[in-house]
């Protein structure tokens, strides 16, 4: 039943009043009686407020035993009792609806009736206060309200029941003491609501008890409800520890991050240039509120100049409210080297006589202590007279020649290591020139033919060849074919068949490519074919008791391909060896110790043989070989045999 339906707020000035707390017992007095009146009481009737019918009666008329009657609809069953000796109506378990004016009427046997009024006031204790937070959520008694440091606290306290209207007060109890405030109270229907605002929650407010208390009478204990503030702190400090100097790329380093002042302990996260790193191993220290995170970092050269940071934030608060410590990484790494031709030069159009520029790009920390240039694996040195200019970042080849073509690299060294660039090929195009080591004299008899081969060096290969014959008394052009075999596109051949003396002389070969024409023709002598000349300068080496080696120098080949023969005879003029070679160098083995041999050496071609050179050689004695004596050079050159 609501207070609005059972509460009577009428006042009766001058009436005696009995005030009790709901649920207690009330003693409602009738008018005071004299002994004479008390002895002649026959009927006592109670009325309430403006009711025309009694609510209770005590009937002792006709001398019979008293009869008690009550209106159960008003007083309930067995709640009211009249005690004549006390002349009071005892009302048990008083209810809020019992409040009001009661009238006692006493009838006597022969004395006039008397009446008396009394007012019953019923105190209804305040109901338990209901505390709500800013979201409207009801906070149970002795529960906790979570807040973050700096947050605004708003609480409301509602008391739904109580008569008279309860008074609400707030008690804020923290480490600084107790603060009592009335708050701001408003009535809404039968409820009273009060609000409490703390503009900014501080660290000192942790575990603060906030109590809403309601009271309306000195006869009752205040009703209260308490909430404890659970305050989350943002971290106060964060510190990053670890290697603070230069780092070597590829090496592992350990960094430790410590944060304190947070409640609960802060969560630590690692970032490299604002990119999150896998979280390190994190734990709390023994003092709680301090977080420690360890991370292992293996930087590479791409991390140079990046910022390593550790951020601390309270897991109960917005992640944007963090503090951090950071440091800039200085990564040392071996040189990274790249070589390229200057962009001003077309790699496919470098020609002899041009200036060539190479650039060496070196990325390293610390800077390289030395940069060298390599051509075909050999170091390039400064030579300004030859147009070779070397620096740490560039190589200049002035008036480049074909000999400077090939593979180039640059090599850099610093304290972290060394590195060599990938090779860059330099192609130097040039006009044809005569190739080295080719046959320049051709012997041919009249009426015979000989194929003369002209070989040139050039880049790119020749596009055409030309032949001219400069005889003793005339010059004429010859038709020749460009041969692509066996030596490839740099050769040409012509068939020469002399019939007269004028057909002998110098045969000139010229060629050209897209760079230019051959400046100096290749000259081949066409001579009458004949036997080769005698070998010269023969010597014997590596003599032992069973072997020796013969070396000679070749003479003119007679204009034809020549070979060389050695014939070996024993002292009995018995032929022991006959061998031929492309060069006049012979190794002779399987001989007898201490024997004198005769060697005949000569050259031959298809036109005949040269005179023979006679060489006498004695092998060492076996005993001499054992004692270490040497007969090196014990030979004689006897001259020529026809």
Over residues 562-589, the mean pLDDT reads 93
At 596-633, the pLDDT tens digits run 999 999 999 999 999 999 999 999 987 655 554 444 44
**How far apart, in whole angstroms, are the C-alpha atoms of residue 632 and residue 219?**
144
Tokens of 69: 């009657």
Does 640 score more than 80 pLDDT?
no
**How far apart, in whole angstroms, are the C-alpha atoms of residue 512 and residue 431?**
6
Q: Which residues on adjacent β-strands are paired with residue 448?
A: none
Does 256 score more than 90 pLDDT?
yes
Residue whose entry in the numeric block shows the structure tokens 């306290």:
157
Q: Which residues contact 207 (CB under 8 A, 6 or more apart)?
A: 174, 228, 229, 230
CATH of domain 335-428: 2.60.40.10
Over residues 111-128, the mean pLDDT reads 93
Q: Closest by alpha carbon to 501, among 467, 530, 474, 466?
A: 474
Helix (H, G, I), strand (E, B) or coil at 642: coil
CATH of domain 536-641: 2.60.40.10
- Which pLDDT score, from 0 to 100, does residue 469 have? 85
Over residues 356-368, the mean pLDDT reads 94
**How far apart, in whole angstroms, are the C-alpha atoms of residue 129 and residue 134?**
16
The fraction of the chain above a pLDDT of 90, given in percent, is 67
Given the candidates 1.20.1290.10, 3.40.50.300, 3.40.50.1980, 2.60.40.10, the CATH classification of the domain at 431-527 is 2.60.40.10
**How far apart, in whole angstroms, are the C-alpha atoms of residue 609 and residue 580?**
13
Tokens of 287: 């003092």
Does 248 score more than 50 pLDDT?
yes
Tokens of 428: 């130097």
Q: Which residues contact 188 (CB under 8 A, 6 or more apart)?
A: none
- Which pLDDT score, from 0 to 100, does residue 3 have? 41
At 384-435, the pLDDT tens digits run 999 999 998 999 999 999 999 999 999 999 999 999 999 999 999 999 999 9
- Please state, in angstroms and as integers, the Cα–Cα distance from residue 337 to each residue in 392, 393, 410, following that order: 12, 11, 7
- Which pLDDT score, from 0 to 100, does residue 476 have? 56
- Which pLDDT score, from 0 to 100, does residue 70 have? 93
Does 571 score more than 60 pLDDT?
yes
Kindly report which listed range (267-281, 343-357, 529-543) carries the lowest average pLDDT score: 267-281
* Domain residue ranges of the chain, discontinuous segments joined by +: 3-123, 130-232, 237-329, 335-428, 431-527, 536-641
Please enumerate, as own/partner, the contacts of 618-624 that have beta carbons within 8 Å and a separation of 24 or more: 618/594, 619/543, 619/544, 619/545, 619/546, 619/547, 619/548, 619/591, 619/592, 619/593, 619/594, 619/595, 620/543, 620/544, 620/545, 620/593, 620/594, 621/545, 621/593, 621/594, 622/545, 622/593, 622/594, 624/545
**How far apart, in whole angstroms, are the C-alpha atoms of residue 107 and residue 44?**
6
Which carries the bigger pLDDT value, residue 398 or residue 12?
Answer: 398
- Which pLDDT score, from 0 to 100, does residue 362 have? 95
Does 458 score more than 70 pLDDT?
yes
Q: What radius of gyration, in Å, describes the C-alpha atoms of the chain?
A: 65
Looking at CATH, the fold of the domain delimited by 3-123 is given as Immunoglobulin-like (2.60.40)
Q: Closest by alpha carbon to 522, among 600, 450, 595, 441?
A: 441
Over residues 169-192, the mean pLDDT reads 76
Does 487 score more than 60 pLDDT?
no
At 33-86, the pLDDT tens digits run 888 888 889 999 999 999 999 999 999 988 778 999 999 989 888 899 999 888
- Which pLDDT score, from 0 to 100, does residue 627 have? 52
Residue 139: CB atoms within 10 A of its CB come to 20
- Which pLDDT score, from 0 to 100, does residue 266 have? 92
**Cis bond before residue 264 (omega within 30° of 0):** yes
Which carries the bigger pLDDT value, residue 147 or residue 189?
Answer: 147
**How far apart, in whole angstroms, are the C-alpha atoms of residue 301 and residue 295?**
19
Which carries the bigger pLDDT value, residue 243 or residue 64?
Answer: 243
**How far apart, in whole angstroms, are the C-alpha atoms of residue 597 and residue 548?**
11
Q: Closest by alpha carbon to 166, among 178, 182, 181?
A: 182
How does DSSP assign 138-171, residue by residue?
EEPTTEEEEEETTPPEEEEEEE---BSPPEEEEE
Does 353 score more than 70 pLDDT?
yes
- Which pLDDT score, from 0 to 100, does residue 409 have? 97
| Domain 130-232: CATH architecture, name and number where available | Sandwich (2.60)
Percentages of the chain per state (helix, strand, coil), in multiples of 5: 5, 50, 40
Residue 275: CB atoms within 10 A of its CB come to 8
Q: pTM of this prediction?
A: 0.57
Please state the separation of Cα 402 from the chain's center in Å.
48
Over residues 266-287, the mean pLDDT reads 83
At 303-332, the pLDDT tens digits run 999 999 999 999 998 888 899 999 999 999
Please state the separation of Cα 367 from the chain's center in Å.
24
Residue burial 593-619, b: 16+ Cβ < 10 Å; e: rest: eebebbbbbbbbbebebbbbbbbbbbb
Residue whose entry in the numeric block shows the structure tokens 């006049």:
584
**How far apart, in whole angstroms, are the C-alpha atoms of residue 328 and residue 307?**
4
Whether 3-123 and 536-641 share one fold: the answer is yes
Question: Do 621 and 546 contact (CB within 8 A), yes or no?
Answer: no
**How far apart, in whole angstroms, are the C-alpha atoms of residue 120 and residue 118?**
7
Which carries the bigger pLDDT value, residue 148 or residue 477?
Answer: 148
Does 477 score more than 70 pLDDT?
no
Does 638 score more than 80 pLDDT?
no
Looking at CATH, the fold of the domain delimited by 237-329 is given as Immunoglobulin-like (2.60.40)
- Which pLDDT score, from 0 to 100, does residue 617 have? 93
pLDDT band of residue 182 (cuts 50, 70, 90) is low
């Amino acid at each position: 039943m609501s207070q609005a339906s059972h509460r009577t707020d009428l006042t009766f000035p001058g009436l005696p009043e009995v005030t009790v707390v709901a649920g207690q017992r009330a003693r409602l007095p009738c008018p005071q009686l004299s002994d004479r009146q008390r002895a002649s009481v026959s009927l006592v009737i109670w009325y309430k407020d403006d009711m025309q019918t009694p609510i209770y009666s005590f009937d002792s008329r006709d001398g019979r035993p008293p009869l008690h009657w009550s209106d159960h609809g008003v007083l309930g069953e067995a709640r009211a009792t009249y005690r004549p000796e006390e002349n009071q109506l005892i009302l048990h378990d008083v209810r809020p609806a019992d409040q009001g004016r009661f009238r006692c009427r006493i009838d006597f046997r022969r004395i006039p009736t008397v009446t008396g009024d009394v007012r019953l006031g019923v105190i209804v204790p305040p109901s338990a206060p209901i505390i709500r937070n800013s979201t409207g959520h009801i906070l149970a008694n002795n529960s906790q309200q979570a807040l973050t440091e700096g947050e605004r606290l708003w609480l409301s306290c509602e008391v739904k029941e109580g008569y008279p209207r309860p008074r609400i007060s707030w008690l804020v109890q923290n480490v600084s003491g107790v603060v009592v405030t009335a708050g701001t109270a408003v009535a809404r229907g039968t409820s009273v609501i009060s609000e409490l605002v703390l503009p900014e929650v501080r660290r000192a407010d942790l575990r603060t008890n906030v109590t809403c208390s309601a009271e309306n009478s000195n006869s009752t204990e205040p009703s209260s409800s308490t909430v404890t503030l659970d305050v989350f702190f943002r971290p106060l400090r964060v510190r990053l520890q670890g290697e603070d100097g230069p780092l070597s790329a590829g090496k592992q380093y350990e960094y430790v991050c410590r944060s304190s002042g947070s409640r609960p302990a802060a969560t630590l996260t690692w970032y490299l240039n604002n990119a999150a790193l896998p979280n390190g191993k994190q734990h709390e220290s023994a003092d709680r509120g301090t977080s420690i995170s360890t991370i292992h970092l293996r930087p590479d050269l791409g991390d140079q100049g990046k910022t390593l940071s550790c951020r601390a934030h309270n897991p109960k608060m917005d992640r944007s409210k963090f503090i951090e410590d950071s440091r800039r990484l200085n990564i040392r790494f071996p040189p990274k080297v790249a070589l390229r031709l200057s962009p001003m030069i077309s790699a496919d159009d470098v020609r002899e006589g041009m200036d060539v520029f190479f650039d060496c790009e070196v990325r390293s920390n610390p800077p390289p202590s030395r940069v060298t240039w390599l051509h075909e694996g050999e170091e390039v040195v400064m030579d300004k007279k030859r147009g070779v200019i070397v620096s740490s970042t560039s190589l200049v080849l002035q008036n480049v020649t074909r000999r400077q073509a090939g593979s180039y690299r640059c090599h850099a060294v610093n304290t972290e290591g060394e590195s060599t660039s990938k090779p860059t090929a330099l192609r130097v195009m040039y006009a044809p020139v005569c190739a080295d080591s080719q046959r320049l004299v051709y012997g041919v008899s009249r009426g015979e033919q000989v194929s003369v081969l002209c070989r040139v060096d050039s880049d790119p290969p020749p596009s055409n060849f030309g032949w001219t014959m400069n005889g003793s008394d005339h010059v004429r052009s010859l038709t020749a074919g460009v041969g692509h075999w066996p030596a490839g596109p740099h050769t040409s051949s012509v068939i020469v068949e002399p019939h007269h003396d004028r057909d002998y002389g110098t045969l000139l070969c010229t060629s050209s490519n897209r760079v230019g024409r051959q400046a100096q023709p290749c000259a081949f002598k066409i001579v009458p074919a004949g036997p080769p000349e005698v070998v010269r300068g023969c010597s014997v080496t590596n003599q032992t008791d069973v072997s020796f080696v013969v070396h000679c120098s070749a003479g003119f080949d007679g204009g034809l391909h020549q070979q060389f023969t050695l014939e070996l005879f024993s002292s009995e003029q018995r032929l022991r060896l006959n061998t031929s070679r492309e060069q006049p160098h012979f190794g002779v083995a399987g001989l007898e110790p201490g024997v004198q041999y005769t060697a005949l050496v000569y050259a031959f071609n298809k036109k005949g043989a040269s005179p023979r050179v006679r060489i006498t050689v004695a092998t060492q004695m076996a005993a001499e070989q054992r004692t270490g004596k040497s007969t090196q050079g014990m030979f004689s050159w006897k001259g020529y045999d026809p």
